[in-house]
Chain A
Amino acid sequence: MSAETVNAARFTETAFVRRKQRNEVVAKAVFLLMTLAMVLPLLLIVGFLVYKAWPALSVGFFLDLPRNGMREGGIWPAFLGTIYLVVISLVLAAPIGVMAAIYLNEYAKESWFTRIIHLAVINLAGVPSIVHALFGLGAFVLFAGLGRSVLAASLTLAVMTLPVIIASTKEALSAVPVSFREACWNMGVSRWQTIWRIVLPNSISGVLTGVILQVSRAAGETAPIMFTGVVFYRAVEKGDLFAYGLLDQCMALAMHLYTISTQVPGVPEAVPFATAVALLSVVLLLNAISIGMRIYLRTCKKW
């Protein structure tokens, strides 16, 4: 056999090669299908919501007060309340959670103590929100004497989101290769400088993603806030940004949505859908802010 025929033979398709190629095509198709299967419902839901909500949607809807037993008017007090709750719980939970995760991942030595903390974090992350609600009622509303208030509800949300923020932040930090840290330690760079210059800049996307996911979750939860500070109805000035004090009771979108869709008869169909769109837009707004922050942080990652 000449060299050419050997080479020619090497490149003819055998059954094995054909099978491999077919598997490749099938695998790619399956994965693409799964991706579509994930995106499609999301698009459908959002499209459906906006379509149904369309008749009620307007700027006025966001800025107006509910009127006529919440059958007409807008959602301003609930919209504002959700923003208050989310922002305050974020301000409370994010720094504590991130710093705790930094301690656990970067400083704490492996010991029974840190193992117990770790176990507690994981278990707390799995506690149902209604349990957090009861805890918040006992701890903040009654024991701390905050009463049913914006602050008590925000604290409850913060406690609920904290363990997950810690866990996800820790995950993001530990994804930074140990070899980076070792290189810094070898040069006599302190732990804090290593964290500040190397670890955080290279994990900030993951950290922010974890935090924002929890904030979105806080925005959508009803149980933890309905015992601790949120009421069915509270009149405020139309469009007033500072309508609530920390110790006031407030309205919230998730709760409002629940109320008008189940408790109030005769609400026009578009109104609950429009409320849902508002809730969704709060979440999307927060996501947009986090994406903006990530892009900004990436541009100034250098010294």
Chain B
Amino acid sequence: MVAQPSKLNVDSLTVWYGDKQVLNGISFDIKPNEIFSVIGPAQSGKTTLLRVINRTIDFTPNARVRGLVEVDGEDVAHVKDIYGFRRRIGMVAPLPVGLPLSIYDNVAFAPRSFGLSKREELDELVERCLTQAALWDEVKDRLNTLGTKLSGGQQQRLTIARALSHQPEILCLDEFSIAIDPVTTMKIEDVLKELRQDMTIILVTNLIQQARRLADRTMFLLNGDLIEVDDTEKMFSGVARNPKTNAFVAGTFG
């Protein structure tokens, strides 16, 4: 059997903030079009991992990164066009941020910034992204109002629409459903199931059930250590290899 090339390959990744080590040499890989979830209690380094993947860790002056992170076999630490590279990664941060622009411009911002200017193309893209983020119906009549005027949950979906606006190959969602009601969350989960046709999805979540519903494989991080990575069903059915995983999943831990 020929090994399928991985979309994302992480090898011995270690990250420090100052003297504090927050990821301890973790290694895993993610296949194309996989939904890969990362679970673990707060402070275990999940967000840090995502920030290494899209290189926004660069903006933290005291952060140090060692190890290898490859997207399509290309070492992300040495990409030449950093802005072009970040566009290939969609990032949804846990706290909703509406940019102080109109709803339309929130979504059109990234495409415009790399040269898309045709009105029809932009209109179409904005509508598609907002629809995928389950926000279109609520805002289609007021695309000119400020994104910052939306409710928290709406802003979170706006963030998702923005992340989709630059048509990423890998979509990272960092606890995206914190501010969203359950019904909308389910809608977005359905969209994610469709989006996987076009992209690889990394889902950081502390909703065990969400990981279970969506992910092909799941990784359990604990205080910067990779405890276990395996098929989601195995991880969650109480037969995981590591007892800590079973305890975390059962809710008796963490």
Interface residues of B in 141-181 (CB under 8 A from A): 159, 162-163, 165-166
Hey, which chain A residues are within 8 Å of B83, CB to CB? 188-190
A contact residues around B54 at 8 Å (CB): 186
Neighbour of B112 across the interface among A188, A190, A198, A303, CB < 8 A: A303
- Per the 8 Å Cβ criterion, residues 83-108 of B in contact with A are 83-88, 91, 93, 95, 97, 99-102, 105
B26 interfacial by beta-carbon distance below 8 Å? no
A109 to B62, CA, bound (A): 10
Chain B minimum-CB-distance residue to A178:
B59
B102 contacts A302, CB within 8 Å? yes
A179 interface residue per 8 A CB criterion: yes
Pair B99/A180 contact, Cβ less than 8 Å: yes
Check if A202 is an interface residue, CB within 8 A of chain B: yes
User: Considering residues A110, A179, A185, A190, which has the most beta carbons from chain B within 10 angstroms of its beta carbon?
Assistant: A185
- Is the C-beta of A40 less than 8 angstroms from some C-beta in chain B? no
Q: Which residues of A contact B159 (CB under 8 A)?
A: 183
Query: Assuming A185-B86, A187-B110, is B163 touching A302 (CB within 8 A)?
Result: no
- Please determine whether B100 and A202 come into contact, CB atoms closer than 8 angstroms: yes
Does chain A have a CB within 8 A of B109?
yes
Would you call A130 an interface residue if the criterion is a C-beta within 8 Å of the partner chain's C-beta atoms?
A: no
In this complex, how many residues of chain B approach chain A with their Cβ under 8 Å: the count is 29
Contact B99 A184 (CB under 8 A): yes
CB-CB under 8 A from A180, the residues of chain B are 97, 99-100
Q: Which residue of B lies closest to A190 (CB)?
A: B83
A269 in contact (CB, < 8 A): no
In the bound assembly, the distance between CA atoms of A183 and B88 in angstroms comes to: 15
Contact residues of B between 39 and 89, Cβ < 8 Å to A: 54, 56, 59, 61, 83-88
- Asked whether, in the complex, the Cβ of B109 is within 8 Å of the Cβ of A182, the reply is no
Closest chain-A Cβ to B240's Cβ sits at a distance in Å of 32
Chain A residues lying within 8 Å of B84, measured Cβ to Cβ, are 188
Report the bound CA distance from A179 to B155 in whole Å: 13
CA distance A64 to B110 in the complex (A): 57
Give Cα A77–Cα B56 distance, bound, in whole angstroms: 57
* Any B CB within 8 A of the CB of A193: yes
Q: Which of A110, A182, A193, A302 contacts B113 (CB 8 A)?
A: A193
Q: When chains A and B are docked, how far (Å) is the Cα of A185 from the Cα of B109?
A: 12
Decide: B162 and A183 in contact? CB cutoff 8 A.
yes
Among candidates B102, B105, B109, residue contacting A187 with C-beta atoms closer than 8 Å: B109
Is B105 in contact with A179, judged by CB distance below 8 angstroms? Answer: no
- Verify A188–B110 contact, CB threshold 8 A: yes
Q: Is B114 an interface residue (CB 8 A)?
A: yes
Chain A 19-50 interface residues, beta-carbon cutoff 8 Å to B: none
A183 touches B99 (CB 8 A): yes
Smallest CB separation, B203 vs chain A (Å): 16
12 pairs from A and B in contact (CB 8 Å cutoff): A179-B93, A179-B97, A182-B97, A185-B86, A187-B109, A187-B113, A187-B163, A188-B85, A188-B166, A189-B110, A201-B100, A302-B101
- A-side residues, CB < 8 A to B, are 109-110, 179-180, 182-190, 193, 197-198, 201-202, 302-303
A-B pairs, 3 with minimum CB distance: A188-B87, A188-B86, A187-B110
